[in-house]
Structure 1
């Protein structure tokens, strides 16, 4: 993975999954190259039932699995999520496939591939005019994962969240997040030389391709950025290669992800919500998709998606939008039922029409 130029975050994630697998095999006293389907089955069942290691929590922290009444989002539960278990299975399988290809052992992969995949190359000869093929069935010991819709922040909730921010740096950061759709790590890694206020663009290094991309941002974001820079003048280093975002307390350090997450946590604490930085990316995507003057390809380019099918998930309405549309439908139906009947055309007597069609002459109700 390191030779393939994988990101350090991916290396760390894969290492932790393999560490869990090796600790499991050590408890069973089974060598890693002797593990089979039985160990894979027991590992899948163990991950499904075991509780995650406890971590220190504040006294007022919500219990695991609690649903926030403001956002409708649930906090992480006590057990491992289906996505985590699927990731662990994929990591372990790829680890064994690597050793089978490079060293010829072990002969059997504990986690088999999905049905319908030939030679492990699903879609190797796919017609680019056709959608990507999917396996005919789930792989063995692969958990089912629901397809949650991306949750964006409603406009009024975003206004309340923005009003709860306490400094110009936080306002500038949130304004850039919601107008550019950049990921949290991408925006935090921006240098001062990558900001071009006269063109109203800001350059970010993409998470996947590591390419520098200039993203357009709102004018309000640059106004807040200017106020923040004026506040920090002669207090932090200035230069094209210096970080753009800094902590506000001495000793001044470049703003890291944990610090940016804490500023969001403070605003959430005021509102009683549990929005995340990634929700701002979803909000930016939903706002751009709703604009009829922007094409889906435009939104794909701004978000940095490799496939337009990833961008298409934002076309689907959110549950709040569906509920609002259906309630408006019921209101229109009620107003139509209560609407008085149209008067008869000239030359027709209402009592005759009532006798003929079974309606009263005055109210129009059915007898």
Structure 2
């Protein structure tokens, strides 16, 4: 069976990428592996490497796919083969690149990770008895806004205490609505639920008790505008929100690591499950295209499918069905 070490063309190409293109040693090693696969398939088909046609490459790609190779892995293999034949063309050894118009199968779009309703409520209702009241009030308000309003973490950290000409976003507790600046500098208004409004009011009541706030204001007067601040008295960063939320989720007893976008996904999924109003969810999330929002319909169907599997008598194998209740004797 032909291998990369038995093919002068492949050996010459590997020397080219190693010396002239100065690719990393690991990259050259991967190229050698992928080109060895190419040589093996060409040898099995009785072909010289410079006689390979597009139809052969398509068949070999299909074989890789049926063998369980993921789309991303196939794309890397094809990229290597494409580069090899491009070099052969520059050397005048082939008239055309047989890999030029061959592309890996599209990878299925992964479903967004969302919490179940009871998990989201468990996180929102959880109270950290060991945390100081200032931090606890802030973190509860963060969870309620992320889950209750479907905000992006950047939209959350960009919120100010009150509206102004310079504010990226703010919350109007009287109107129970938040104005946020989303992607593409598009502003939208989202409703703030009762629980989120209560948590925000509790946080605002203790926010200025941060000992470092006076010194922070001397260094940066704009710190007074931020709705959420850290112990240093400055605006809370997205990284801090990620870290605090992950720790809070673990303490609350959730199995999956929680992150801000998971709460946004949960918000969208749960509203869609209850209302089936895709356009409303699109507006609440600030999606420019409804196709972006439609992925949550897959989560909604997944929820329905799980309910069906758990409840319908024909969805499970006979041995998995609960025992029937015996009839009373007359």
Do these two structures clear the TM 0.5 threshold for a shared fold by scoring above it?
A: yes
Is the aligned partner of 1:217 residue 2:207? no
What SS does the aligned partner of 1:291 have?
helix
Per the normalisation by structure 1, the TM-score is 0.52
TM score, norm. by length of structure 2: 0.57
191, 203, 213: which one pairs with 1:228?
203
Structure 1's unaligned 5+ residue stretches are 1-24, 33-37, 47-80, 91-107, 116-138, 341-361
Q: Matches of 1:180 and 1:85 in 2, distance apart?
A: 40
Structure 1 position 339, deviation (Å): 8.9
> Secondary structure, in 3 states, of the residue corresponding to 1:160?
helix
Could you tell me which of 305, 308, 312 is aligned with 2:294?
312
More helix by share: 2
Q: In the alignment, does 2:157 pair up with 1:188?
A: yes
Equivalents in 2 of 1:45, 1:277: separation in Å?
39
Rounded to whole Å, the distance in 1 between the matches of 2:297 and 2:309 is 18
CA distance in 1, matches of 2:114, 2:243: 20
Distance 1:43 1:213 in 2: 52
Deviations along 1:169-218, one digit per CA (max 9) or x if unpaired, are: 111111111121121112111122222112111111112x1122221121
Q: CA deviation at 1:260?
A: 0.6
Residues 62-81 of structure 1: pairs in structure 2 closer than 5 A: none
SS where residue 292 of structure 2 aligns? helix
Matched, 1:149 2:131: no
More deviation, 304-313/329-338: 329-338
Aligned to 1:99: none
Is it true that 1:261 corresponds to 2:242 in the alignment?
Answer: yes
Unaligned runs of 5+ in 2: 1-14, 36-69, 80-95, 164-169
Query: What is the CA–CA distance in structure 2 between the aligned matches of 1:152 and 1:308, rounded to whole Å?
Result: 19
CA RMSD of aligned residues (A): 4.3
Distance 1:307 1:175, change over 3 A: same
Relative to structure 1, the CA distance from residue 276 to residue 321 in structure 2 (aligned partners, 3 Å threshold; closer, same or farther) is farther
- Within 5 Å, give how 1:186-335 maps onto structure 2: 186-192=155-161, 193=163, 194-207=170-183, 209-233=184-208, 235=210, 236=213, 242-247=225-230, 249=231, 251-270=232-251, 271=253, 272-292=255-275, 295-316=277-298, 317=300, 319=302, 321-330=304-313
Q: Deviations over 1:305-358 (max 9, x none)?
A: 121122111112364552232121028996997697xxxxxxxxxxxxxxxxxx
Cα distance in 1 for partners of 2:142, 2:33 equals 41
The answer (yes or no) to whether the contact 2:159–2:226 under 8 Å persists in 1 is yes
Provide the C-alpha distance between the structure 2 equivalents of 1:283 and 1:220, rounded to a whole number of angstroms. 16
Deviations 1:51-105 (A, max 9, x none): xxxxxxxxxxxxxxxxxxxxxxxxxxxxxx9779989x99xxxxxxxxxxxxxxx
Shift of 1:144: 4.8
Instruction: Check conservation: 2:120, 2:266, Cα contact below 8 A.
Output: no
**Offset from partner CA, 1:108-141 (integer Å, 9 cap, x none):** 99x95xx6xxxxxxxxxxxxxxxxxxxxxxx53x
Per mean C-alpha deviation after superposition, the further-off stretch among 173-182 and 237-246 is: 237-246
Tell me: CA distance 1:42–1:288, structure 2 relative to 1, closer, same or farther (3 Å): same
